[in-house]
Amino acid sequence: MSELVCKNISKAYKKKKVLHGIDLTIEQGKIYGLIGRNGAGKTTLLSVMTAQNPATGGEVILDGMPVWENQQALEHLCFSRELNTLSILGPNSVKVKEYLMMARMYYPNWDREMEKRLVERFDLNVKKRISKLSKGMLSMVTIIVALASKADITILDEPVAGLDVVARTDFYQLLMEEHVNSGRTFIISTHIIEEAANVFEEVIFLKDGMILLKENTQELLERAVHVSGLAGEVDAACEGLTIHHVENIGRSKGVTVLLSAGQQLHPGHDVTVQPVSLQNLFVALCGREA
Amino acid sequence: MNELLSQDKSIYLQLSEMIETDIIRGILLEEERVPSTNELAKLYTINPATAAKGVNLLVDEGILYKKRGIGMFVSEGAKAQIIEKRKSVFYGNYVRNLLEEAKSLGISRGELVAMIDGEQ
């Protein structure tokens, strides 16, 4: 059914190029994690994918239909943007319940029951104005819009920003429940990687406006290892392999290795081999060069 | 079903080991239904595809079996099978590590045997 495809998407703001030839296929029924540093182009990519922002080049296609200015396609998409108290919605004056009412009118499959249930669960005061909300409360509003929209493909940009750890755990549970019950597709961008790693079926690393990788999360983690020990031993164990993020402390050396299919470390060397978390792998691939 | 997931190894392996341990401990009984992949996904907040991978590992080994349209069940003889399997990897998982660590600390074989004998 709903497959969302980016074909060679590029985007520039005046002379500043933000996205460079993005090819990406979002398949029905998966949860994707979109991970990238500040300024990598995450929000731009998500807004282009949902036709809230025109691409400079390329095309976004939903089930064979271009998404741009196509109401029929847009009904299947929800991009719940990160809100801020100065949001352009004119709405330093808009109350939470008015904002939710606008969303209810916009999304054809809006689930009123879920909206009510989530407002209660988050203990959100709907009479408050958007401009008076804390960072965490703003995130709650974007989560409610995303989940209650019932859109086939739902995108959340930084949904857990400003939420405390209990609310974040709550969010991922609600998300998983909704995903399991409805089979909806979700794309979630976050900077708090570790607690979301098990939720993502696939991860997409975005670096400098390009897709660095898109892969099944568990398979990616299985081929990533951290190798450490006496520098010479580490070098011998990793000879010919793809090495990222080298750290040297005196005679000691640590490297992150991403093995390709069929590759393994050279055996017989006195090194410590440890699994790598998604967060550490991201830092190794997208962090500053040592 | 109440163990915590760690980052030390693949989530689906941890899940399948957790179900095995529950079978050994009598938390899950033979011929009893085990939680579905969707239930496991919600319980542990893990992706259902990952949960399915862990469960399918046990189905492939014959420890669990599927009843079409009803769910997943613990096979008869599963407990004995898991214990046999764990015994066969006991040397590689425990004994070899023990010997390696003893060697690097200069603990002699005699001292090691004495430690094991002294343990009631």
Q: Please return the burial class of A271, using the count of CB atoms within 10 Å of its CB with bins 0-12, 13-18 and 19+.
A: buried
CB A62 within 8 A of CB A71: no
Candidates B7, B9, B55: best to mutate against A (most CBs of A within 10 A) is B7
Candidates B42, B45, B50, B55: best to mutate against A (most CBs of A within 10 A) is B45
Which stretches does DSSP call E strand in A57-96?
A: 57-62, 65-66, 77-80
d(CA A199, CA A195): 8
d(CA A160, CA A172): 9
d(CA A212, CA A285): 9
Q: What is the least distance, in Å, from the CA of A201 to any CA of chain B?
A: 6
Who among A31, A200, A221 is closest to B10 (CB)?
A221
Q: Label residue A130 by pLDDT band (50, 70, 90).
A: confident
Q: Label residue A261 by pLDDT band (50, 70, 90).
A: confident
Residue B56 sits at the chain A interface (C-beta within 8 Å): no
User: What is the architecture of the domain spanning B11-76?
Assistant: Orthogonal Bundle (1.10)
The domains of chain A are located at 4-216, 223-286
The domains of chain B are located at 11-76, 89-118
Residue A173 sits at the chain B interface (C-beta within 8 Å): yes
At A205, is the secondary structure helix, strand, or coil? strand
Q: Label residue A48 by pLDDT band (50, 70, 90).
A: very high
- DSSP category for residue B9: S
Asked if A31 and B47 come within 8 Å (Cβ–Cβ), the reply is yes
pTM: 0.89
What percent of the residues of chain B are helix, what percent strand, and what percent coil, each to the nearest 5? 60, 10, 30
| Neighbouring-strand partners of residue A60 | A6
pLDDT at B9: 82
In B, which residues are within 8 Å of A172 by CB distance?
45
CB B41 within 8 A of CB A180: yes
Asked if A218 and B45 come within 8 Å (Cβ–Cβ), the reply is no
Asked if B47 and A172 come within 8 Å (Cβ–Cβ), the reply is no
**Other residues' Cβ atoms within 10 Å of the Cβ of residue A277:** 17
pLDDT at A268: 87
Residues 206-245 of A with CB under 8 A from B: 216-218, 221-222
Q: How many helices (H) and strands (E) would you count in chain A?
A: 9, 14
Q: What is the least distance, in Å, from the CA of B11 to any CA of chain A?
A: 8
pLDDT tens across A270-288, in order?
A: 899 999 999 999 999 998 7
Cβ neighbours of residue B61 under 8 Å, at least 6 residues apart?
B81, B85
d(CA A252, CA A259): 22
d(CA A104, CA A164): 27
At A37, is the secondary structure helix, strand, or coil? coil
Asked if B7 and A194 come within 8 Å (Cβ–Cβ), the reply is yes
Strand order in the sheet with B33-34: B33-34, B71-74, B64-67
**Other residues' Cβ atoms within 10 Å of the Cβ of residue A226:** 20
Reply yes or no on whether the pLDDT at A90 is more than 60. Answer: no
Asked if A275 and B9 come within 8 Å (Cβ–Cβ), the reply is yes
Q: Per the CATH hierarchy, to which homologous superfamily does domain A4-216 belong?
A: P-loop containing nucleotide triphosphate hydrolases (3.40.50.300)
pLDDT tens across B50-69, in order?
A: 999 999 999 999 999 999 88
Output A113 or A82, whichever has higher pLDDT.
A113
Tokens of A243: 């090495």
Residue B38 sits at the chain A interface (C-beta within 8 Å): yes
pLDDT tens across A4-18, in order?
A: 999 999 999 988 999
Q: Label residue A236 by pLDDT band (50, 70, 90).
A: very high
In chain A, % of residues over pLDDT 90: 80
Query: ipTM of this complex > 0.90?
Result: no
CB B50 within 8 A of CB A198: yes
Reply yes or no on whether the pLDDT at B47 is more than 80. Answer: yes
d(CA A45, CA A254): 34
pLDDT at A86: 66
pLDDT tens across A91-100, in order?
A: 557 899 999 9
Candidates A168, A169, A218: best to mutate against B (most CBs of B within 10 A) is A218
